[in-house]
Structure 1
Amino acid sequence: MFSGDADADLRQMADDPTFPHRDAARHALRFRTSGDAADLVAVQDDPHPCGTTDVVFALAGSKRPWLNWVPMPSEAISNVANEIGGRRAQGEQLEVTELGLSAAEPASAVAAFRRVAGPVSIGIAEFPPPDIRTPVRPGRYAVWRYDGTEPVAAVPAPSDVAGRLLHEVAGEPWQSPLSGYVKAAPLGELALDDLLGLLAHLPAAPDTPRWQHLARSTPTYWYRLMQPWVCLGILHHAKDEPWPTSTRREVLVDLAFGVEDWVADAALFALVTAAYREPELRAEVRQLVRARLDAAVAAHRLVTIEESLAKLMLVTPGCRADDRAVATAALARAAQDEEQEEREEPAPAPVEKRRWWRRRG
């Protein structure tokens, strides 16, 4: 039986002379203290892997971003959507017809906003360089394109069967990426068009107590969580194809380096999961995660997924000292910016303080 305190449970395992995976438990404890991904890799690479080592891996990543949960949306448009959705869930009759953004934000965040708020007209003041609409690298697969300033799904809508299956698979966060991969296997039976369609057309949240509760505070979180689940499903697509030339690899790499979007770090998360499972992929995946993080850091403008990319870098197998330095610097900047915003922001006021959007009603 577990106590619900991951650190206490791991200490008990590490101190128990009869526990067959004491080394794995010690590595898990060190990871929780130092955050060194090498210790997490050591848990996965236990010389006698079994269901118990999977549990140790899950305990190591308990309540850690990407290992147990997806980082929350941080975009201005997501904050507005959460406020609108939360107030409506509390019974307020709130109508929103127009919204203005000072700069473009990810297409998935815009789509999630409209799933919560409805068909709102969105004005964008500028697309600062590098243009969020331009892929980091050209690729064959994409789920978003732009019609001027408007993000548009570049793939057909998924089937109803795909939406129902997503609800069955993705209704809860994963205990670990490894268990998430196993649970996502049924998604891999879907057609690739269905999987890509789920990423852009964003089915509504399951009608369950968890999501009914989150509808009152963070209704956009479902859309942030479901995309990594879909990318785990893509890892199961055409698994008989050799990895270097496989469709699943090409799709995930193209999405990771496509337009700046939630889909990018969701695809990288799936690749990181594959790297834990298959050691021969680790060098390539580390390079991919670092390259995408470098692109975000080099942007010299706000990149809303930079913080989540940095957190993913820190748990990527093979993460080196220089990778860690870049990631921790990005997280430190994000924390500093947040503290500065909190110091400069005036005392909380009604809706009128949100000058980047307008409403009627």
Structure 2
Amino acid sequence: MSEGRDDPPLSAGEELALARLALGEGDLPHAAGHVAAALAKAPTLPEAHETLARIAATAGGGGVELFALHSHAFVGVVVARAHLLAAAGRPAEGLELLAAATGHERRADWAGVPWVTAPELPQRLDPGLVAKVLMQVCAGVPDPVPRAERAPLSPYLALARNAVAAHPEHGLLLGAASALARRLGEVAVAIRWASRGVRAQPSKLGEVWLGYAYRSAGRTREALAALVRAVDHDPNDLAVYADIAGTLADNGRLDEALEWVDRALARDPAFDCAVHTAHRLRFQRDGDVAHLVALADFVRDHPDDSHEHGDLAECCRSRPWLGQLTPAAGAAVAALRHALTEDPPGLGTTVRLETLEPPSALRTVAAAVPGLRVEVAAVADPDPREPRRATDRPLWRWDGAVAAPTVPAPSAEAADRVRQLAHPAWPHPPAAYDAAVGLATLELSDLLGLLVHPPEAPPTGMGRVLAGQDPSLWVRCVQVWACLGLLHHRTDEAWASSTRRRVLVELVWGVEDWITEAALFALVTAAWVDPSVRPDVAAVVAERLADAAVVARERPVPIAVSLAYLALATPGLDPATAALAGELISGPAPAPRPGPLRRLWARLTRRR
């Protein structure tokens, strides 16, 4: 369906005024167009329905043909046609159109009209058709529907009540009515209707509806019993196996859940629901990222799954580098966060660092709080101003303890593009890779310039929060997305000798900095989306983490823990490096972040 014309929007009242003018001139097509527009804006407005009735009376034949349906029908036309069909004695067709409108926009009260909720309506309808309409509505709404969005769906629940009263022994109708009641928070009613349905007509689908109703009520034992009976009805419906596994897992019974998943996979190793559930549950059990990588491979190799799954995103959510970047560590950014709580921020305050910290951290502090003075007690060995390996592409030059970029600032276009993309959270690494394609046409000089000349945060809610409470998060966002953009640079080049690999590896081994983390994340992401590069990336990650561990024995390495989390997110990482990563992560616990920062982080990394 479409939203209508491209003309400047008019109110429902203005549309009706134009409809009446057109009607008075005998121009029925224009009158129909305006009343359809009015219904789209105010679907229960009495004046709109009165005008629609006048058009129908004038047109003859019920006026239905004035509201013909096309491939991209305007939703107002669909709704108007539904009401006219009902008035012409064809309410079944009208209900189907209203359900389609609800699927298009569930928050609009398309069905909030007397003929839909009339108690006598179901007596004129085939109960199987009412069940079909209710299932059509259920297919277009979440389970459960948020409380604030339930009111526009209540006419369908009234229809269900009336239909159940008129056809009290129709199993399919009772089950479909139960499914709708469950979604609208009427769980007790859902259980009652589904129970009646399986008694009247035992079936797999009826048991599934009953199991879901019990599950929504927290009655796990009864839910599992119903779902198992559904399997007895149809042992080949593997989706029910996955439902049983999910229910068991939600109640901490992982081993039993995996037994059901394995039963499904034994029947069909490529059944999507079972594959997604299996990898998610195995990751829950042992935390091995290999399960998630295998799931990402399956998703890539099976783009035509029967429906969308959220298992991969669910597992990656809120996990360092799998679903979000890590907050910066170190004394410099800790001082920055504290200074931003003062009024005025950091004025006259001096922060003494034990040793030199990453240049991005020092530059961020200087830019965000100019009144905060930073003094460095010493430059510890190994010298953090030197790249960890020789490079022809240094991004920083040092004048004592002050760092400055060596590359020019990016173009305005590059700055605008990264402002539109940069965010501290993503569903999973392949999704981050796909999102970064918007940076594919940027020049290499622009992408490198973004790393050391991050633009100001955008004037959005997120941007204002970052700028006011922790500017380091925004800088890290820019660096991460710029490096993801590098993954899309000259993708026609073979990986081993490509510009994108060479540049990212140089950044990984450059001066110890936040850019190191961003570049390593880009390489890890490349390994997620391209199995052929996994051995190469795993080797780079292992070497870089080993180097950080060696340096950490001599002096603080603020990025060490983050590098360890990156290692654990790497496909095909060797066991020894994984163990080293665990040791770095489980080292001395950092001081807890201040309460406001913790709340900020939760807000920014909330699911997008």
Unaligned runs of 5+ in 2: 1-141, 147-242, 250-256, 593-608
User: Letter of the aligned partner of 2:316 in structure 1?
Assistant: G
Which of the numbers 229, 248, 251 marks the counterpart of 2:503? 251
Which of the numbers 319, 328, 331 marks the counterpart of 1:76? 331
Moved more, 268-277 or 116-125: 116-125
User: Letter of the aligned partner of 1:316 in structure 2?
Assistant: T
1:138 is matched with which residue? 390
- Distance in 2, Cα, partners of 1:334 & 1:236: 38
Q: Are 1:41 and 1:317, in contact at CA under 8 Å, matched by a contact in 2?
A: yes
User: Is 2:374 the partner of 1:122?
Assistant: yes
Q: Are 1:28 and 1:60, in contact at CA under 8 Å, matched by a contact in 2?
A: yes
Which of the numbers 523, 526, 536 marks the counterpart of 1:271? 523
2:316 is matched with which residue? 61
Q: Deviations over 1:205-244 (max 9, x none)?
A: 1221123234443232111222111100010111111111
User: Letter of the aligned partner of 2:537 in structure 1?
Assistant: V
Q: Are 1:144 and 1:152, in contact at CA under 8 Å, matched by a contact in 2?
A: yes
- Distance in 2, Cα, partners of 1:53 & 1:302: 45
2:418 is matched with which residue? 166
- Distance in 2, Cα, partners of 1:326 & 1:317: 16
Which of the numbers 32, 42, 49 marks the counterpart of 2:302? 49
1:316 is matched with which residue? 570
Q: Deviations over 1:124-174 (max 9, x none)?
A: 111111110111111222322212221110111111111111111114522
Which of the numbers 306, 325, 328 marks the counterpart of 2:560? 306
Change (3 A) 1:146 1:246: same
User: Is 2:547 the partner of 1:295?
Assistant: yes
Which of the numbers 186, 192, 208 marks the counterpart of 2:438? 186
- Distance in 2, Cα, partners of 1:34 & 1:284: 25
SS at match of 1:303: coil
User: Cα distance, 1:200 vs. partner?
Assistant: 0.4
User: Letter of the aligned partner of 2:536 in structure 1?
Assistant: E
Which of the numbers 569, 587, 590 marks the counterpart of 1:333? 587
- Distance in 2, Cα, partners of 1:271 & 1:313: 11
SS at match of 1:146: strand
User: Cα distance, 1:67 vs. partner?
Assistant: 1.0
How does 1:210-229 map onto structure 2 within 5 Å?
A: 210-229=462-481
Change (3 A) 1:102 1:26: same
- Distance in 1, Cα, partners of 2:143 & 2:511: 42
User: Letter of the aligned partner of 1:46 in structure 2?
Assistant: F
- Distance in 2, Cα, partners of 1:23 & 1:324: 25
User: Cα distance, 1:99 vs. partner?
Assistant: 3.7
Greater relative CO, 1 or 2 (CA 8 Å, sep 6+): 1
Q: Deviations over 1:16-39 (max 9, x none)?
A: 979624223211232234221211
- Distance in 2, Cα, partners of 1:266 & 1:215: 20
More helix by share: 2
Aligned-pair RMSD on alpha carbons? 2.8
- Distance in 1, Cα, partners of 2:494 & 2:453: 30
Q: Deviations over 1:76-128 (max 9, x none)?
A: 1111112223435xxx4652475432210000111111221127553211111
Q: Are 1:258 and 1:264, in contact at CA under 8 Å, matched by a contact in 2?
A: yes
Change (3 A) 1:119 1:245: farther
SS at match of 1:205: coil
User: Is 2:277 the partner of 1:25?
Assistant: yes
- Distance in 2, Cα, partners of 1:270 & 1:119: 35
Q: Deviations over 1:268-294 (max 9, x none)?
A: 100000011111110110111111111
Q: Are 2:490 and 2:499, in contact at CA under 8 Å, matched by a contact in 1?
A: yes
Which of the numbers 37, 40, 53 marks the counterpart of 2:292? 40
Q: Are 1:274 and 1:281, in contact at CA under 8 Å, matched by a contact in 2?
A: yes
Q: TM-score, normalised by structure 1?
A: 0.84
Give the number of the structure whose alpha-carbon radius of gyration is greater: 2
Q: Deviations over 1:245-302 (max 9, x none)?
A: 1111111000001110010011010000001111111011011111111111101121
Moved more, 219-228 or 194-203: 219-228
- Distance in 2, Cα, partners of 1:260 & 1:53: 40
